[in-house]
Amino acid sequence: MPQGERAEKVQDTEEEGASRQRGRYPKGILRRQQILDRTIEVFAEHGFEGTSLRAIGDAIGVSHAALKRYFETREELFVEVLREKDRQALADARVDVVETIDFASHLEDYVSRAPGLVALRHGMVARAIEPGNEHSRAFFVERYDSIRKEALLILRLAQAVGTVRADISPEVAASLVIAAMDGLSTQWLLDPQVDMNRGMTLLEHLLRPVAD
């Protein structure tokens, strides 16, 4: 629930009197979206350090301070970018993928979504596990929880249908599958010679019933 503080605060402190708290202007809504869109582009080109509030501001023809009207800190802006991309990904998700345990193609989607996105996520996870950075930490804890649950559903279904062996904990398997995706994409990003799909496919194979 980002950027909702304004309304709350006014609502809480002032209780009578006319005309207060107008909310975002149309122009502001557009600008906010523009910032989110441009940020990932700037990041893809210039990396983490190169993506200062000023650099993003320059890219859209506005001062760095303007961005702070929309996002308290750079950290928060980045988190919102990721949140937005997650929303988009969820919207585009092909339903048929849920029916099968084709994690390899999930991974394909994941890494090819937008240039720089995986790098941004990586950088943010790295920050999230450090002391401080509570904001990003909270986001990722929640996010991993959510994608583990998603994987869990798929695995349970697959166990019911018999395409995944039934003698393993689907909860633990969900963690493992997500971990493999993360880890394989890391290796691939470092060295494109590493074939992530083969790794992911192997895991899928290992998960299949032994009678296969």
Partner DNA sequence: CAGGAAAAGCTCCGAGTGGAACTTTTTTTG
Partner DNA sequence: CAAAAAAAGTTCCACTCGGAGCTTTTCCTG
Query: Long-range CB contacts (< 8 A, 24+ apart) of 170-173?
Result: 173/207
Q: Which of 23, 92, 96, 192 binds DNA (CB under 7 A)?
A: 23
Q: How many angstroms separate the CA atoms of 149 and 122, rounded?
A: 21
Interacting residues of 95 by C-beta distance below 8 A, sequence separation 6+:
none
Measured on CA atoms in the order 39, 84, 72, 140, is the torsion positive or negative?
negative
Task: Quote the crossing angle between the two packed helices 170-190 and 103-112, to the nearest 10°.
Answer: 40
Look at residue 178 and give the partner it binds from a second copy, DNA, none, a contact being a CB closer than 5 to 8 Å depending on partner kind: a second copy
Q: How many angstroms separate the CA atoms of 179 and 204, rounded?
A: 13
Kindly state whether residue 31 participates in binding DNA, applying the rule CB under 7 A.
Answer: yes
Looking only at residues 135 through 194 of this chain, which bind a second copy when binding is defined by CB under 8 A? 137, 140-141, 144-145, 168-169, 172-173, 175-176, 178-184, 186-187, 189-191, 194
Q: Which of 44, 59, 74, 125 binds DNA (CB under 7 A)?
A: 74
Half-sphere exposure of 172 (CA within 13 A, CB side): 5
Helix, strand counts (H, E) of the chain: 11, 0
Look at residue 190 and give the partner it binds from DNA, a second copy, none, a contact being a CB closer than 5 to 8 Å depending on partner kind: a second copy
Kindly state whether residue 63 participates in binding DNA, applying the rule CB under 7 A.
Answer: yes
Task: Compute the least distance from the CB of residue 85 to DNA, in Å.
Answer: 20
Kindly state whether residue 135 participates in binding DNA, applying the rule CB under 7 A.
Answer: no
Q: Which of 11, 132, 150, 157 binds a second copy (CB under 8 A)?
A: 132
Look at residue 183 and give the partner it binds from a second copy, DNA, none, a contact being a CB closer than 5 to 8 Å depending on partner kind: a second copy
**DSSP for residue 2:** T
Kindly state whether residue 193 participates in binding DNA, applying the rule CB under 7 A.
Answer: no
**DSSP for residue 23:** -
- The structure tokens listed for 3 are 């950027």
- The residues binding a second copy (CB under 8 A) are 45-48, 50, 118-119, 122-123, 125-133, 137, 140-141, 144-145, 168-169, 172-173, 175-176, 178-184, 186-187, 189-191, 194-195, 198-199, 202-203, 205-207, 210
